[in-house]
Amino acid sequence: MDRRSKKTRESILQSFGNLLEKRSYDRITVQEIIDDADVGRATFYAHFPSKDDLLKTTCVDLFDHVFPTPSKQEKEDIFKDSHAEKDEITHIFFHLKKNKYNLLTALLRDGNTLFLCYFREYVDRYIAANLLKQKQHSGTIPESFLYRHISTTFMDLVQWWIDDGAKREPEEMAEIFFTVIHPVL
């Protein structure tokens, strides 16, 4: 993508974020986005086939950064001790707090179903790949349910944190998360 296209794409994403801070996703129109970004309709659609595709792109940009996929060696290094797991979750909370365009806050506030699906997909993948594979659990709980339970706990904790104004520090949020899920691991 050339520099001008990147700048246009960034302008559209920024406008989308600005509008989300003011009102819900469902009430935002493509026309408002292109007016705010100062781009033409054809230009918008050259970058994003629909408003839902803009949301998906935004989620991928945000969550690929928030939920990185470490290499095998990095994973082994990260999980050599129990403090590393908390450090990793703390890192995720830090990125969620500092998320680009304040999208997380706006979309969680809306309860946008499409956004929540993307969020769940990333959380489920992260929990399965990085947290549960390192633990031995009793085996009486089906692993797929355990993933879902821990992912839901994480998502609810993030929702509560955002609703509470993200007042608590990421380290405290990680501590709360592990305190809640520890009994099931």
* pLDDT tens, residue by residue, 80-95: 444 677 888 898 888 8
Whether residues 11 and 36 fall in one domain: yes
Query: Residue 120 is part of which domain span?
Result: 61-184
Closest CA to 78 of 136, 134, 127, 158: 134
pLDDT computed for residue 39 by the predictor: 96
Taking 60 as the threshold, does the pLDDT of residue 72 lie above it?
no
Q: Is residue 162 part of a domain?
A: yes
Taking 50 as the threshold, does the pLDDT of residue 75 lie above it?
no
Taking 60 as the threshold, does the pLDDT of residue 74 lie above it?
no
Whether residues 65 and 151 fall in one domain: yes
Question: E-assigned strands of 62-138?
Answer: none
Which pLDDT tens digit goes with each residue over 101-124? 566 766 777 767 888 888 889 998
Mean predicted lDDT score pLDDT of the chain: 83
CA pair distance 64, 107, nearest whole angstrom: 17
Of 63-67, 138-142, 160-164, minimum mean pLDDT range: 138-142
Other C-beta atoms closer than 10 Å to the C-beta of 154 total: 24
Whether residues 103 and 170 fall in one domain: yes
pLDDT computed for residue 137 by the predictor: 58
Do the Cβ atoms of 138 and 57 come closer than 8 Å?
no
pLDDT computed for residue 69 by the predictor: 67
Place of tokens 């990333």: 122
pLDDT computed for residue 179 by the predictor: 94
- The domain total for the chain is 2
CA pair distance 29, 82, nearest whole angstrom: 47
Whether residues 173 and 139 fall in one domain: yes
Whether residues 80 and 158 fall in one domain: yes
Q: What is the SS3 assignment for 78?
A: helix
pLDDT computed for residue 65 by the predictor: 81
Taking 60 as the threshold, does the pLDDT of residue 53 lie above it?
yes
pLDDT computed for residue 22 by the predictor: 86
Q: Is residue 97 part of a domain?
A: yes
Tokens read off for 87: 């450090």
Whether residues 67 and 29 fall in one domain: no
Taking 70 as the threshold, does the pLDDT of residue 100 lie above it?
no
Contacts of 117 (CB under 8 A, 6+ apart): none
**What confidence tier does 1 reach under pLDDT thresholds 50, 70, 90?**
confident
Report pTM. 0.77
Whether residues 80 and 171 fall in one domain: yes
Q: Is residue 55 part of a domain?
A: no
Contacts of 92 (CB under 8 A, 6+ apart): 66, 67, 126, 170
Q: Is residue 153 part of a domain?
A: yes
CA pair distance 126, 112, nearest whole angstrom: 21
What's 79's DSSP letter? T
Whether residues 40 and 78 fall in one domain: no
Which pLDDT tens digit goes with each residue over 149-171? 999 999 999 989 988 888 899 99
Phi and psi of 159, rounded to 5°?
-60, -50
Q: Is residue 22 part of a domain?
A: yes
